[in-house]
Amino acid sequence: MVDREEKYIGTISGKLMAYILLALGGVISLMPLYWLVLTSLRPAGAEFTYPPEWIPSSFHPENYGVAWNRAPFWLFTFNSILVTFLATLGTLLTASMAAYAFARIPFYGRNVWFALTLSTMMLPWAVTLIPRFLLFKYLSLLDSLWPLFLPFWFGGGAFYIFLVRQFIMTLPVEMEEAAVVDGASRLRIFLMITMPLTKPAIAAVGVFSFIQHWNDFMGPLIFTNSEESRTLALGLRYFGDEQFTEFRLIMAVATVMLVPVLVVFFAANKYFVSGVALSGLAGR
Amino acid sequence: MADAVPLGVSSPVPGKKPRWSRKVKADNVAGYLFMAPWIIGFLAFTVGPMLASGYLSLTKYSGFGAIKWVGFENYDKIFQDDLFYTALYNTSYYAFLGVPAQLLVALCLAVLLNMKVRYVNVFRTVYYIPTVTPAVANVFLWVWIFNFDFGLINSLLRLIGISPVNWLWDPQIVKPALILMSLWSVGQQMVIFLAALQGVSEELLEAASIDGATNFRRFLRITVPLISPVIFLNLIIGIINLFQTFTVAFIATRGGPINSSLFYVLYIYRKGFESFSMGYASGLAWILFMIILVITGIQFYFARNWVYYESGGPPS
């Protein structure tokens, strides 16, 4: 991200043009979200008026309370937090283990495994969907939160392994080699030397994984059934079945669901973008 | 893979062989211990289900009771199933028009964000926000935005005197509308493009300027070839992803109107989890797998003609 002073666009008209274009894109990016929050604060029935009020004349935050009491949303939120936390924890631990092995341990068959790992990124998940469902049915884990986080304790996904591996490859190997000479075990080196240095990549994976699991819709849809094991993403459908008649309530819950994602995104913005950038180097 | 090591050699660091040789065994043990979770997961959640899916596609199974072997009957039925062709057409339409549109928008945004002006980082964050919006929230939001009478887009159209469009409930318009919607959250591709653009050498671009090339020509002749590997990457991933579109059609349009947004994975879902024809659905899934494999293969074949690698070799 080179933003050196001397390379800024020089001419006034050039600058003006640049900002106009950037602002236009910004408006298009944010307009739907403004509409989302706007709708969530409108009085009952007022979402169906024309022309819409672009600047609201009154705010109705009580919509949030009304929406929240339509379904056990506290329970859904708790489930979402639990699944997101457990799945992310598993991903961070097991993906970095595999990444470390790929980056640093010259074990037999490493390149074959690496190629296999990468190839799973191209595998359509729809192919494995039905057998996975049957597998969890066989294990009597359907309609629980287990299917939503357990698979992520097994490497977390090729993309994450790849991302962390790429990062470890950029680290100097000398410190680890010195530790090997000193007789430190692989596990010690991994935990005490490599992992602390890999923080930026771990942070990126953490953010990606958080957003992936917090937003996941298909998983809960397939694997859970009863109200007790619903997550927030699925809970939103409580309103959908009423043929989209209560948009202000749907938008209220959607806004609540969006807030944690935005908080995490803003807090970890730099890791996020650098993470994507790192993975983007894949094709180069 | 970055290091050019022949496959299956037990000591993949030839230069350091004497140092590692006594550690080869320890390395193998350590390597596989570190890899163990991923390998177990790979077998249990990828390879196993793949094979099981192939087997199930040759059976009749409702998810309960006995599994009945039927040979290729499911595939026979699928190839005579009108809805299969409808779903395939809808999905291809969506993917083959949607991906180029997405990449174009993402590239334009990346070029904007690559401009050398102050506060461009703020815009980078703002442009990415739509992409982190939860898919479900996103879909409901857009159903509302597309609403015929009170939606955001039709309200704007009325403001400038254009008659409103029935976005989601007109069979002719629903697929373009869904593509339009997908263009709002192309942040992932955008950031990958941005990273590539920032890797394009300034010297090369300046040299072209001195030679009198216009900005647009410079972009087309120098920047695009240099970032072509990343365009290719986004293209491959984009096609694979859009061929598996599900949530938007499941929630927003429910495949309608008159099946004009019945996408392939939605059809798999309906067969497998609504009509409980798990065998039939597995057959559909395998056909999708083959289609994606072939499309990806074709793209790799033609990549030779337009993807440029600085190192001269194919990607690792």
CATH of the domain at A158: 1.10.3720.10
- A196 and A151 assigned to the same domain: yes
Whether residue A5 has pLDDT greater than 50: no
Q: Name the CATH topology of B75-306.
A: MetI-like fold (1.10.3720)
Contacts of A22 in chain B (CB under 8 A): 112-113, 115, 117, 120, 123
Q: What does the block give as tokens for B201?
A: 């050498």
Q: In Å, how far is B65's CA from the nearest CA of chain A?
A: 12
Residues 25-84 of A with CB under 8 A from B: 25-26, 28-33, 35-36, 39, 47-52
Indicate whether A43 pLDDT > 50: yes
Domain that holds residue A15: 5-66
Does A148 lie in the same domain as A30? no
- Distance from C-alpha of B120 to C-alpha of B313, rounded to nearest angstrom: 35
A89 shares a domain with A216: yes
Q: Cα angle at A215 between A210 and A220, to 5 degrees?
A: 110
- Residue A111 domain flag: yes
Instruction: With beta carbons less than 8 A apart as the criterion, state whether A122 and B290 touch.
Output: no
Q: Closest Cα partner for A102 from A156, A167, A148?
A: A167
Q: What ipTM does this complex have?
A: 0.84
Residue A284 domain-assigned?
Answer: no
Q: Using the structure block, give the residue that is written with the tokens 């894949």.
A: A282
A20/A126 same-domain check: no
Q: Do A33 and B53 touch (CB under 8 A)?
A: no
Residue A160: both structure tokens together: 């994450």
**Residues A39 and A123 occupy one common structural domain:** no
Distance CA B183, CA B106 (A): 8
Q: What's the DSSP call for residue A31?
A: H
A132 vs B49, B128, B191: nearest CB: B49
- Same domain as A206, residue A152: yes
Residue where a domain stops, chosen among A198, A216, A235: A235
What confidence tier does B270 reach under pLDDT thresholds 50, 70, 90? very high
Question: Which of B105, B88, B289, B126 has its CA nearest to residue B182?
Answer: B105
Q: CB distance A250–B140 less than 8 Å?
A: yes
Statement to judge: residues A88 and A228 lie in one domain: yes
Q: Nearest Cβ partner of B292 from A47, A116, A124?
A: A124
User: Does A154 share its domain with A79?
Assistant: yes
Domain count, chain A: 2
Q: In this predicted structure, what is the pLDDT of residue B139? A: 87
Q: What is the pTM of this model?
A: 0.85
Residues A153 and A24 in one domain: no
What percent of chain A clears pLDDT 90, i.e. is strictly above it? 24
pLDDT at A240 over 70: no
User: Which carries the bigger pLDDT value, residue A239 or residue A183?
Assistant: A183
A150 belongs to a structural domain: yes
**Assigned domain for A256 exists:** no
Q: Are residues A9 and A126 in the same domain?
A: no
Q: Which residue does chain A place closest to B236, by CA atoms?
A: A122
Which chain B residue lies closest to A28 (C-alpha atoms)? B184
Element spanning B60, H or E: strand B59-60
Residues 76-135 of A with CB under 8 A from B: 94-95, 97-98, 100-101, 105-117, 120-135
Domain boundary among A192, A211, A235: A235
Q: Which residue has the higher pLDDT, B43 or B119?
A: B43
Domain assignment present for residue A249? The answer is: no
Count CA atoms closer than 13 A to A237's CA, side-chain side: 18
The CA distance from B62 to B50, in Å, is 18
User: Is A273 part of a structural domain of the chain?
Assistant: no
Tell whether A50 and A77 lie within a shared domain.
no
Quick one: which H or E segment has residue A261?
helix A247-267
* Domain end position, chosen among A14, A41, A66: A66
The confidence score (pLDDT) of residue A282 equals 42
Q: Which residues contact A53 (CB under 8 A, 6 or more apart)?
A: A38, A42, A46
Chain B environment of A186 (Cβ under 8 Å): 26, 30, 34
Residues A25 and A120 in one domain: no
Confidence band (pLDDT; 50, 70, 90) for A163? confident
Q: Note which residues in 164-223 of chain A have CB less than 8 A from chain B.
A: 169, 186, 190, 211, 214-215, 217-218, 221-222
Q: Tell me: the pLDDT tens digits for B76-129?
A: 999 999 999 999 999 999 999 999 999 999 999 999 888 888 888 888 888 988
